[in-house]
Amino acid sequence: MPASSTRPTSKLDDDDYPAYTMGRAAEMLGTSPAFLRALGENRLITPLRSDGGHRRYSRYQLRIAARARELVDQGTKIEDACRIVILEDQLEEAQRINEELRADRTTVPPST
């Protein structure tokens, strides 16, 4: 077995690596490329571009897009769905930071 390299697996494990083309991303989400473009227009996700200018999506972006699709499928307007997902993401990040700060505060001895 060849020596292991961290480079190939790091891209496979990286949620932010833009691995999926627009067509593949739309197929995985069960939606159309137009839906993905609409998410970009509403600033929910901003795909990276390949050297040829083609949109490329990460797994993280696909999870975000899937959540927006759930809301749209439930009858929420796409603009509103994008705003809801953005707020949910911001809340999750704030809660994570809050937990980290609480954990840090309990591990640091009080100053005198």
> What pLDDT does residue 20 have?
94
Helix (H) or strand (E) holding 21: strand 20-21
Q: State the chain's mean pLDDT as an integer.
A: 89
Buried b (16+ CB within 10 A) or exposed e, 63-101: ebbebbbebbeeebebeebbbebeeeeeeeeeeeeeeee
14 versus 63: the higher-pLDDT residue is: 63
Question: Could you report the per-residue pLDDT of 58-105, keeping only the tens digit for each?
Answer: 999 999 999 999 999 999 999 999 999 999 999 999 999 999 999 988
Quick check: 3 pLDDT over 80?
Answer: no
Average pLDDT over residues 19-31: 95
pLDDT of residue 11: 73
